[in-house]
Amino acid sequence: MTDHGTATCAEVPRAEAIARLNDQLRTTGTGGTIVITQNVMRTTGFDAEELSCALANYQGFDVDNDPHGERDFGDLTLWGHDLLFKVDYYDRNLEFGSEDPADLDATHRVLTVMLASDW
């Protein structure tokens, strides 16, 4: 009998597999869709390249904003505003939530950047 709940040395824990896929989207803009709310884009001084760099370099994950170790939520300050980003997991047709966020073939990631005040 095989125990599918136990990771071998060669396997990556589920949360880390999800985190790596989230990191790919956040750092390279590939592997999903990045959505920036209108309120962020209307912020005085908004610069898409600066935002992209801030997301790529973000290292502020901790037990408060990342309790499951998936690196799917963060906060940063740009242009004098507090921003939040959140990765959500959808099926490939963007109709329902993904049944398995660790499965790249079954999941479409959407990273949304918003003003903290919009949360």
Cα gap 90→12, rounded to integer Å:
22
- Mean pLDDT computed over 11-32: 95
- Mean pLDDT computed over 33-37: 98
Whether 3 has a pLDDT exceeding 70, the answer reads: no
- Mean pLDDT computed over 11-29: 95
pLDDT (0 to 100) of residue 54: 98
pLDDT (0 to 100) of residue 44: 97
Whether 110 has a pLDDT exceeding 50, the answer reads: yes
Cα gap 109→97, rounded to integer Å:
10
Which residue from 51, 46, 56 is spatially nearest to 24, judged by alpha carbons?
A: 56
Cα gap 108→59, rounded to integer Å:
23
pLDDT in tens, 45-85: 999 999 999 999 999 999 999 999 999 999 999 999 999 99
Cα gap 72→86, rounded to integer Å:
6
Cα gap 39→92, rounded to integer Å:
27
pLDDT (0 to 100) of residue 12: 80
pLDDT (0 to 100) of residue 11: 74
pLDDT, the chain, mean: 92
Whether 5 has a pLDDT exceeding 80, the answer reads: no
